[in-house]
Protein backbone atom coordinates (compact mmCIF):
# COMPACT_ATOMS: atom_id res chain seq x y z
CA UNK A 1 0.00 0.00 0.00
CA UNK A 2 1.28 3.46 -0.88
CA UNK A 3 2.15 5.66 2.11
CA UNK A 4 -0.35 8.32 3.16
CA UNK A 5 1.25 11.69 2.53
CA UNK A 6 -0.45 14.89 3.57
CA UNK A 7 0.33 18.26 2.00
CA UNK A 8 -0.40 20.94 4.60
CA UNK A 9 -0.55 24.50 3.27
CA UNK A 10 -0.68 27.17 6.00
CA UNK A 11 -2.49 30.33 4.90
CA UNK A 12 -3.18 32.90 7.58
CA UNK A 13 -5.55 35.76 6.87
CA UNK A 14 -3.52 38.44 8.64
CA UNK A 15 -0.48 38.87 6.36
CA UNK A 16 1.17 42.24 6.91
CA UNK A 17 3.72 42.91 4.13
CA UNK A 18 1.11 42.30 1.41
CA UNK A 19 -2.39 42.37 2.94
CA UNK A 20 -4.58 39.41 1.91
CA UNK A 21 -1.69 38.10 -0.15
CA UNK A 22 -2.73 34.44 0.01
CA UNK A 23 -5.70 35.18 -2.27
CA UNK A 24 -4.09 38.03 -4.20
CA UNK A 25 -4.18 37.41 -7.99
CA UNK A 26 -0.66 36.56 -9.15
CA UNK A 27 -0.20 35.82 -12.88
CA UNK A 28 -3.90 35.04 -13.19
CA UNK A 29 -4.41 32.83 -10.13
CA UNK A 30 -4.78 33.44 -6.38
CA UNK A 31 -1.37 33.06 -4.78
CA UNK A 32 -2.47 30.07 -2.72
CA UNK A 33 -3.69 28.26 -5.85
CA UNK A 34 -0.13 27.53 -6.98
CA UNK A 35 0.75 25.51 -3.88
CA UNK A 36 -2.58 23.69 -4.03
CA UNK A 37 -2.18 22.79 -7.70
CA UNK A 38 1.40 21.66 -7.19
CA UNK A 39 0.32 19.36 -4.37
CA UNK A 40 -2.53 17.97 -6.46
CA UNK A 41 -0.12 17.30 -9.32
CA UNK A 42 2.34 15.42 -7.09
CA UNK A 43 2.69 11.70 -7.77
CA UNK A 44 3.19 10.99 -4.06
CA UNK A 45 0.90 13.33 -2.12
CA UNK A 46 -2.40 11.65 -1.23
CA UNK A 47 -4.24 14.49 0.51
CA UNK A 48 -4.12 18.29 0.18
CA UNK A 49 -5.28 20.44 3.10
CA UNK A 50 -5.18 24.18 3.71
CA UNK A 51 -4.95 25.37 7.32
CA UNK A 52 -6.42 28.85 7.62
CA UNK A 53 -8.19 31.07 10.11
CA UNK A 54 -9.96 32.97 7.33
CA UNK A 55 -13.29 32.00 5.75
CA UNK A 56 -12.56 33.74 2.44
CA UNK A 57 -9.21 31.97 2.08
CA UNK A 58 -10.97 28.71 2.94
CA UNK A 59 -13.51 29.25 0.16
CA UNK A 60 -10.82 30.07 -2.43
CA UNK A 61 -8.79 27.03 -1.35
CA UNK A 62 -11.81 24.74 -1.83
CA UNK A 63 -12.49 26.23 -5.26
CA UNK A 64 -8.97 25.26 -6.32
CA UNK A 65 -9.24 21.70 -5.07
CA UNK A 66 -7.95 21.66 -1.48
CA UNK A 67 -9.74 20.39 1.58
CA UNK A 68 -10.39 22.81 4.43
CA UNK A 69 -11.85 20.51 7.09
CA UNK A 70 -11.36 22.99 9.95
CA UNK A 71 -10.82 26.67 10.61
CA UNK A 72 -7.58 27.24 12.47
CA UNK A 73 -8.14 28.59 15.99
CA UNK A 74 -6.82 31.97 17.06
CA UNK A 75 -4.18 30.52 19.41
CA UNK A 76 -2.16 29.26 16.41
CA UNK A 77 -3.05 31.96 13.90
CA UNK A 78 -1.26 35.01 15.28
CA UNK A 79 1.61 37.03 13.82
CA UNK A 80 4.10 35.21 16.04
CA UNK A 81 2.55 31.72 15.89
CA UNK A 82 5.32 29.21 15.08
CA UNK A 83 4.92 26.59 12.38
CA UNK A 84 4.92 23.78 14.91
CA UNK A 85 1.70 25.03 16.53
CA UNK A 86 -0.05 25.01 13.15
CA UNK A 87 1.14 21.49 12.36
CA UNK A 88 0.50 20.13 15.85
CA UNK A 89 -3.06 21.47 15.72
CA UNK A 90 -3.74 19.93 12.30
CA UNK A 91 -2.30 16.52 13.14
CA UNK A 92 -4.11 16.40 16.49
CA UNK A 93 -7.39 17.42 14.84
CA UNK A 94 -7.11 14.69 12.22
CA UNK A 95 -6.25 12.06 14.82
CA UNK A 96 -9.12 13.04 17.12
CA UNK A 97 -11.80 13.76 14.52
CA UNK A 98 -11.00 11.26 11.77
CA UNK A 99 -8.54 8.73 13.17
CA UNK A 100 -6.24 9.80 10.35
CA UNK A 101 -2.47 9.84 10.79
CA UNK A 102 -0.33 10.43 7.68
CA UNK A 103 3.08 8.84 7.31
CA UNK A 104 4.60 12.09 6.07
CA UNK A 105 3.56 15.74 6.02
CA UNK A 106 4.70 18.04 3.20
CA UNK A 107 4.99 21.71 4.13
CA UNK A 108 4.22 23.98 1.18
CA UNK A 109 4.34 27.72 1.84
CA UNK A 110 2.07 29.86 -0.38
CA UNK A 111 4.39 32.91 -0.56
CA UNK A 112 6.86 30.86 -2.69
CA UNK A 113 4.79 29.79 -5.72
CA UNK A 114 7.77 29.33 -8.09
CA UNK A 115 8.17 25.64 -7.36
CA UNK A 116 8.47 22.51 -9.52
CA UNK A 117 6.31 19.50 -8.79
CA UNK A 118 9.19 17.11 -9.49
CA UNK A 119 11.20 18.72 -6.69
CA UNK A 120 8.35 18.12 -4.24
CA UNK A 121 8.31 14.45 -5.22
CA UNK A 122 12.10 14.16 -5.00
CA UNK A 123 12.06 15.50 -1.45
CA UNK A 124 9.31 13.03 -0.51
CA UNK A 125 11.20 10.12 -2.05
CA UNK A 126 14.33 11.13 -0.16
CA UNK A 127 12.59 10.91 3.22
CA UNK A 128 10.80 7.68 2.32
CA UNK A 129 14.17 6.12 1.52
CA UNK A 130 15.62 7.12 4.90
CA UNK A 131 13.36 5.77 7.68
CA UNK A 132 15.90 6.88 10.29
CA UNK A 133 15.41 10.53 9.35
CA UNK A 134 12.71 12.74 10.84
CA UNK A 135 12.62 15.37 8.13
CA UNK A 136 13.90 16.73 4.86
CA UNK A 137 14.75 20.41 4.80
CA UNK A 138 15.13 22.29 1.54
CA UNK A 139 18.36 24.29 1.67
CA UNK A 140 20.57 26.41 -0.56
CA UNK A 141 24.27 27.13 -0.29
CA UNK A 142 24.46 30.38 1.67
CA UNK A 143 25.71 33.33 -0.35
CA UNK A 144 27.45 34.79 2.69
CA UNK A 145 29.24 32.69 5.27
CA UNK A 146 28.43 33.21 8.97
CA UNK A 147 32.12 32.56 9.69
CA UNK A 148 32.73 36.14 8.55
CA UNK A 149 29.86 37.62 10.56
CA UNK A 150 30.07 39.53 13.83
CA UNK A 151 27.83 40.77 16.60
CA UNK A 152 28.37 43.61 19.05
CA UNK A 153 28.49 42.62 22.72
CA UNK A 154 27.25 44.64 25.70
CA UNK A 155 30.62 46.41 25.88
CA UNK A 156 30.29 47.62 22.29
CA UNK A 157 32.97 45.23 21.03
CA UNK A 158 32.85 43.06 17.93
CA UNK A 159 32.62 39.33 18.59
CA UNK A 160 32.54 36.55 15.97
CA UNK A 161 29.19 34.86 15.45
CA UNK A 162 30.96 31.53 14.83
CA UNK A 163 34.40 30.15 15.52
CA UNK A 164 36.21 27.05 14.21
CA UNK A 165 37.85 24.91 16.87
CA UNK A 166 41.65 25.06 16.73
CA UNK A 167 41.53 27.63 13.92
CA UNK A 168 42.38 31.08 15.29
CA UNK A 169 41.04 34.06 13.37
CA UNK A 170 39.04 31.98 10.90
CA UNK A 171 37.28 35.25 9.99
CA UNK A 172 40.38 36.21 8.02
CA UNK A 173 40.57 33.02 5.96
CA UNK A 174 39.54 33.01 2.29
CA UNK A 175 35.90 32.08 1.91
CA UNK A 176 36.86 28.95 -0.05
CA UNK A 177 38.68 27.56 2.99
CA UNK A 178 35.68 27.91 5.30
CA UNK A 179 33.02 25.21 5.83
CA UNK A 180 30.12 25.21 3.37
CA UNK A 181 27.01 26.53 5.08
CA UNK A 182 23.40 26.10 3.96
CA UNK A 183 20.40 28.41 4.25
CA UNK A 184 16.95 26.92 4.83
CA UNK A 185 14.96 28.34 1.95
CA UNK A 186 11.40 27.13 2.55
CA UNK A 187 11.01 25.69 -0.95
CA UNK A 188 9.61 22.39 0.36
CA UNK A 189 9.99 20.56 3.67
CA UNK A 190 8.85 17.02 4.44
CA UNK A 191 8.33 15.90 8.03
CA UNK A 192 7.39 12.74 9.90
CA UNK A 193 4.57 13.41 12.40
CA UNK A 194 6.70 11.86 15.15
CA UNK A 195 9.03 14.86 14.96
CA UNK A 196 6.15 17.25 15.60
CA UNK A 197 4.08 15.27 18.09
CA UNK A 198 6.77 13.39 20.02
CA UNK A 199 9.92 15.47 19.61
CA UNK A 200 8.21 18.87 19.58
CA UNK A 201 10.22 19.94 16.55
CA UNK A 202 9.73 20.76 12.87
CA UNK A 203 12.83 18.74 12.00
CA UNK A 204 13.24 16.28 14.86
CA UNK A 205 16.68 14.97 15.75
CA UNK A 206 17.78 13.84 12.28
CA UNK A 207 17.15 16.04 9.26
CA UNK A 208 18.54 15.47 5.78
CA UNK A 209 19.18 18.20 3.21
CA UNK A 210 17.37 18.61 -0.07
CA UNK A 211 19.80 20.97 -1.78
CA UNK A 212 18.05 23.34 -4.14
CA UNK A 213 20.07 26.12 -5.71
CA UNK A 214 17.64 27.52 -8.26
CA UNK A 215 16.53 31.13 -7.89
CA UNK A 216 14.11 31.50 -4.98
CA UNK A 217 11.31 34.03 -5.28
CA UNK A 218 8.65 34.84 -2.70
CA UNK A 219 5.85 37.36 -2.33
CA UNK A 220 6.80 39.15 0.87
CA UNK A 221 6.38 42.76 -0.30
CA UNK A 222 4.46 44.41 -3.18
CA UNK A 223 7.68 45.04 -5.09
CA UNK A 224 8.29 41.24 -5.22
CA UNK A 225 5.21 40.60 -7.36
CA UNK A 226 6.56 41.50 -10.86
CA UNK A 227 9.58 39.18 -10.53
CA UNK A 228 7.41 36.33 -9.22
CA UNK A 229 4.92 36.76 -12.06
CA UNK A 230 7.73 36.78 -14.63
CA UNK A 231 9.21 33.59 -13.18
CA UNK A 232 5.82 31.86 -13.16
CA UNK A 233 5.30 32.87 -16.78
CA UNK A 234 8.73 31.52 -17.76
CA UNK A 235 8.02 28.22 -16.02
CA UNK A 236 4.61 27.89 -17.64
CA UNK A 237 5.49 28.89 -21.18
CA UNK A 238 9.26 28.67 -21.47
CA UNK A 239 10.00 25.23 -20.04
CA UNK A 240 8.27 21.92 -20.74
CA UNK A 241 8.81 20.94 -17.09
CA UNK A 242 6.17 23.49 -16.11
CA UNK A 243 4.77 23.87 -12.63
CA UNK A 244 1.28 23.51 -14.11
CA UNK A 245 2.01 20.27 -15.95
CA UNK A 246 -0.64 17.75 -14.97
CA UNK A 247 -2.43 20.18 -12.69
CA UNK A 248 -6.17 19.98 -12.31
CA UNK A 249 -8.39 22.94 -13.03
CA UNK A 250 -10.44 24.55 -10.28
CA UNK A 251 -13.38 22.48 -9.06
Q: Where are the domains of the chain?
A: 5-140+183-237, 143-180
Give the torsion through C-alpha atoms of 77, 81, 86, 87, to 10 deg. Answer: 170
pLDDT of residue 239: 53
User: Cα–Cα distance between 223 and 73 in angstroms, integer?
Assistant: 31
| Tens-digit pLDDT profile for residues 80-121 | 899 999 999 999 999 999 999 999 999 999 999 999 999 999
| Tens-digit pLDDT profile for residues 195-241 | 999 999 999 999 999 998 888 899 999 999 999 999 999 887 765 34
pLDDT of residue 219: 95
pTM above 0.95, yes or no: no
Q: Is pLDDT above 90 for 79?
A: no
What is the homologous superfamily of the domain 5-140+183-237 according to CATH? Answer: Spore Coat Polysaccharide Biosynthesis Protein SpsA; Chain A (3.90.550.10)
Q: Mark 234-251 as b/e (b = at least 16 C-beta within 10 Å).
A: ebeeeeeebbbeebeeee
Amino acid sequence: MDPTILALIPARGGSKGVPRKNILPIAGKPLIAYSILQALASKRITRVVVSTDDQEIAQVAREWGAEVPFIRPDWCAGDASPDIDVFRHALSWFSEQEGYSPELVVHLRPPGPVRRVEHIDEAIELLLSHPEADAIRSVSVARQTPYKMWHVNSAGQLQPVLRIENVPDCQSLPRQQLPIVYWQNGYVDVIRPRAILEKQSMWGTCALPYVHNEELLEVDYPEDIPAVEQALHRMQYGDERTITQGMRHPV
